[in-house]
């Protein structure tokens, strides 16, 4: 049974220089029409692939809080009428520090949102300008204060390291300032320069100065040290939580479980098929108006692909991949599928076996991609 759903809001009031998610400038966009079609897509999906209960919903973007309070209310009330949200455990929405007014917080709270993910990235104001963000340190503090006053007790901050001209001392200050805000969860990702971004164009022109790899390693090690000392538990390569506040929705991805994906450009995994929706808003709207699910592409995941995904997603978790659960789920023993690969990685000190789990070592956390690629294109379909 599918217990998770992702909802995409592609509208932004400004475009960050690193972002490659499906997004458009908010101004002059058919926002009300989009909300209507988004709800229609949910209705069609529930008719074709119903579920009895959802445990997690994540509304991302784009910038969901770029919508007005009224638009948010229409969306969330509409979702409540369509989706089985009575059993929801974690209901997250992404927010920007400078677009989360009190009326919006009230709407979110009234409609059952119980977790906020705030895009901070850095507290260094010159770096904020460098990456195209419009908020500042005080607006983050204000956003958290208003969120607490509105009754939110589960707040996550998103941080980034490896930013242009960022030094380890800059990131250390950001980590400490984030911890000082006493939030329940932190995510911290290394910058990846993606195509179709401002940074990609600058890099091609030789105008993007990124930190050396050794500085990125230092930043990540600082992250591990500071979060541990502050009482956060690292449960995934880039995610840290106070006990009991691990992201249930993201664990659906890392556990390679199925989920609905709604909205322009959204990805979903339903009935063994991964799909991606049309990204351009006009194409998405037209498909839904024609009462057709707006999938641009569909791919039936093979048994080998499922196993590969289980490895490179599961090893992101600090708990790693459980031998018994793997065999029960995929019908093949883990050490039978990847005996040579596991032995090689054990010799290199990049993985370890603890109890009945294969997991990354501290060195493996730093070289995760090298580990993951060991499990790709190894098996043959049976």
Show me where the domains of the chain are located.
4-254, 303-375
More confident residue, 19 or 164: 164
How far is residue 287's CA from residue 275's CA, in Å, rounded to a whole number?
15
Could you give the percent of the chain with pLDDT greater than 70? 100
Q: Give Cβ neighbours of residue 308 (< 8 Å, ≥ 6 apart).
A: 375, 376, 379
Position 20 scores a pLDDT of 75
Residue 21 has pLDDT above 80, yes or no: no
The dotted CATH code for 303-375 is 1.10.10.920
| 3-class DSSP state of 377 | coil
> What is the rounded end-to-end Cα distance, in angstroms, of the chain?
25
Residue 101 has pLDDT above 80, yes or no: yes
Computed over every residue of the chain, the mean pLDDT equals 95
Name the CA radius of gyration of the chain, rounded: 21
pLDDT tens profile 260-315: 999 999 999 999 999 999 999 999 999 999 999 999 999 999 999 999 999 999 99
For 76-90, b/e burial (b = at least 16 CB within 10 A) is bebbeebbebeebeb
Do 330 and 310 meet the contact criterion of CB atoms below 8 Å apart? yes
Task: State the pLDDT confidence band at 166, using cuts at 50, 70 and 90.
Answer: very high
Position 102 scores a pLDDT of 94
Distances in Å between the Cα of 349 and the Cα atoms of 344, 362, 365, 371 are 9, 9, 11, 11
Residue 230 has pLDDT above 70, yes or no: yes
Could you give the percent of the chain with pLDDT greater than 90? 86
Run of H or E residues at 364: helix 362-366
Position 47 scores a pLDDT of 97
The dotted CATH code for 4-254 is 3.20.20.70
Residue 382 has pLDDT above 70, yes or no: no
pLDDT tens profile 301-324: 999 999 999 999 999 999 999 999
CA 52 from chain centre, in angstroms, equals 24
Do 191 and 160 meet the contact criterion of CB atoms below 8 Å apart? yes
pLDDT tens profile 26-56: 888 999 999 999 999 999 999 999 999 999 9
């Amino acid at each position: 049974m599918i217990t998770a759903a992702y909802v995409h809001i592609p509208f932004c009031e400004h475009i960050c220089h690193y972002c490659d998610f499906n997004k458009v400038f908010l101004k002059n966009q058919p926002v009300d029409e989009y909300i209507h079609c988004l709800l229609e897509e949910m209705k069609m999906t529930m008719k074709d692939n119903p579920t009895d209960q959802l445990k997690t919903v994540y509304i991302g973007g784009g910038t969901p809080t770029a919508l007005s309070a009224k638009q948010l209310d229409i969306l969330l009330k509409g979702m409540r009428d369509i989706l089985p949200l009575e059993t929801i455990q974690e209901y997250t929405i992404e927010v920007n520090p400078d677009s989360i007014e009190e009326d919006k917080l009230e709407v979110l709270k009234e409609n059952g949102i119980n977790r906020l993910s705030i895009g901070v990235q850095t507290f260094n104001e010159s770096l904020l300008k460098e990456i195209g963000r419009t908020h500042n340190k005080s607006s983050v503090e204000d956003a958290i204060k208003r969120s607490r006053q509105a009754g939110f007790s589960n707040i996550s901050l998103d941080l980034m390291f490896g930013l242009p001209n960022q030094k380890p001392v800059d990131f250390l200050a950001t980590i400490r300032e984030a911890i000082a805000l006493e939030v329940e969860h932190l995510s911290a990702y290394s910058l990846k320069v993606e195509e179709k971004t401002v940074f990609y164009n600058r890099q091609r022109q030789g105008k993007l100065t990124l930190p050396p790899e050794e500085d990125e390693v230092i930043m990540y090690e600082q992250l591990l040290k500071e979060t541990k000392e502050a009482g956060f538990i690292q449960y995934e390569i880039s995610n840290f939580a106070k006990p009991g506040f691990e992201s249930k929705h993201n664990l659906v991805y890392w556990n390679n479980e199925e989920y609905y994906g709604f909205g322009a450009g959204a990805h979903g995994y339903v009935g063994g098929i991964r799909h991606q929706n049309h990204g351009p808003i006009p194409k998405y709207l037209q498909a839904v108006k024609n009462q057709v699910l707006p999938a641009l592409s569909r791919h039936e995941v093979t048994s080998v692909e499922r196993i590969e995904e289980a490895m490179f997603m599961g090893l992101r978790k600090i708990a790693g991949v459980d031998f018994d659960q793997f065999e029960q789920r995929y019908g093949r023993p883990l050490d039978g599928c990847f005996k040579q690969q596991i032995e090689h990685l054990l010799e290199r000190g990049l993985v370890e076996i603890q109890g009945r789990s294969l997991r990354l070592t501290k060195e493996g956390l730093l070289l995760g991609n090298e580990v993951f690629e060991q499990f790709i294109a190894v098996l043959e379909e049976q």
